[in-house]
Amino acid sequence: MSDDRSIAYRENNTSIYRASGSGSCLNALVAAMLGYKEDRSKFTHDILMNAAKEGNLHEGAIVEELKRDYGWRVYGGQDIVEDKIIPRVFIRGHIDGLCIPKGMRNERLLEIKTMSKDRFKKWKAIGDNILERLLSDDFLKYGWQISAYMHAYNDIPAMYVVKNRDSGELMIEEIKIPPVAFKEIRKKIIQAEMWRKKNELPGCFGSSGEKFFCPFPYLHDDNVWGNEPEDEDAPIDNVTTTLIAGMAEHYDDLAGRVRMMKPLDEERKNIGKKIVEAMGGANGMKYVQAGQFKVTRADGSSNYVDKAGMAEAFGVTAERYDEIVDANTKKRPYNYVRVTKIGDK
């Protein structure tokens, strides 16, 4: 069932953010709340409308196929779910249903997506598992949506069913944990509320894909696309993620052997510096999930003595020298990464 309302709106002095729009950029969420007029191009509008129409047509047939050919129990279609963020602020959505697949005892959430053959091909090609696909730049909004639904149902697993509209092929996968942590969803919605109350737009930091489908493209005319937001967990592009995944794997391997072969530690440190650079340096990403690794940039600092200050103090008394050294001791920021395999403690 399609919903023509904006991705965020006010209802009886309450802020409602649609689950399907929760993965939109912060700027778009705030613009919707402030009542900006949606103004997509006719081409973009037609793509979205046709996709919604096709989705509605196929969804019922997919449910019947799951019942008839797969032996699933399916119920609760279009039930309304809500996540309370703070008082008078909610994420709201309509689930595709609940289900108990054949051979399983406990119910799962059911999420159904239909795609063109080209988009379905891209879906299958990204990553090795459902979480990687839902955290990718192309499908991140889907990741936010199902995460909101899963949290509303106390993080029960979900069955994700994707259909190729051209061939009829179904791809069915189970999601055991929400792709996006609820604390990140909550953080973003609270930020949107803060900007709404200030009656200001934060500026856009979305990807080129988001810009194409953004309901407020005219707001980007005076903004620079691609600037990184301050949000430490913002997603980065797939090419960079793949690069970091490869380096993180090598880093992890070297760390395990460093006690036996000290020279490898220097190589490990050098790779660590390269990972920091790939993440954008000291002001870049704080965290990224890359392949099987969670990479976190840890920041710190060390003391150093200003040599210019020492030169100026040369020849003075020891007491004076200590005073000058103390006065010229400064902090030197540095960066390093912690690499852990996902699932490890």
Contacts of 49 (CB under 8 A, 6+ apart): none
- Count how many domains the chain has: 2
In terms of Cβ atoms closer than 10 Å to its own Cβ (0-12, 13-18, 19+), residue 280 is: middle
| Residue 110 near residue 98, CB atoms below 8 Å | yes
Q: Is residue 52, in this structure, part of any structural domain at all?
A: yes
Q: Would residue 103 count as lying in a domain?
A: yes
Task: Judge if 214 and 246 occupy the same domain.
Answer: no
In what order do the strands lie in the sheet containing 329-341?
287-290, 293-305, 329-341
Q: Are 41 and 173 in the same domain? A: yes
Band the pLDDT of 33: cuts 50, 70, 90: very high
Residue 101 covered by a domain = yes
pLDDT tier at 45 (50, 70, 90 boundaries)? very low
Higher pLDDT pick, 185 / 127: 185
User: Residue 118 has which token pair?
Assistant: 């080209």
Average pLDDT over residues 231-260: 61
Contact 7, 32 (CB under 8 A): yes
pLDDT in tens, 50-102: 545 554 556 888 999 999 999 999 998 888 999 999 999 999 999 999 999 99
- Please check whether residue 106 lies inside any domain of the structure: yes
Q: How confident is the model at residue 253 (pLDDT cuts 50, 70, 90)?
A: low
The model's pTM is 0.60
Please check whether residue 41 lies inside any domain of the structure: yes
Average pLDDT over the chain, rounded to an integer: 79
Kindly report the backbone phi and psi dihedral angles of residue 137, in degrees, each rounded to the nearest multiple of 5, phi listed first. Answer: -60, -35
- Domain membership of residue 271 (yes or no) is yes
| Residue 232 placed within a domain | no
Residue 229 in any domain: the answer is: no
161 and 51 in a common domain: yes
Q: CATH number of the domain that 153 lies in?
A: 3.90.320.10
The proportion of the chain whose per-residue pLDDT surpasses 90, expressed as a percent, equals: 40
Alpha-carbon distance values, 325 to 301, 317, 333 (Å): 18, 12, 19
Closest CA to 227 of 201, 252, 199, 208: 208
Instruction: Tell me: do 269 and 315 sit in the same domain.
Output: yes
Say how far apart CA 106 and CA 95 lie, in whole Å.
Answer: 17
Where in the sequence is the domain holding 278, given as residue range(s)?
238-341
At 160 the pLDDT is 97
Cα(195)–Cα(32) distance, integer angstroms: 12
Does residue 294 sit in the same domain as residue 153?
no
Average pLDDT value for residue range 178-207: 87
The C-alpha angle with vertex 101 and arms to 129 and 150, in degrees rounded to 5, equals: 60
In a 13 Å sphere around the CA of 157, the CA atoms on its Cβ side amount to 14
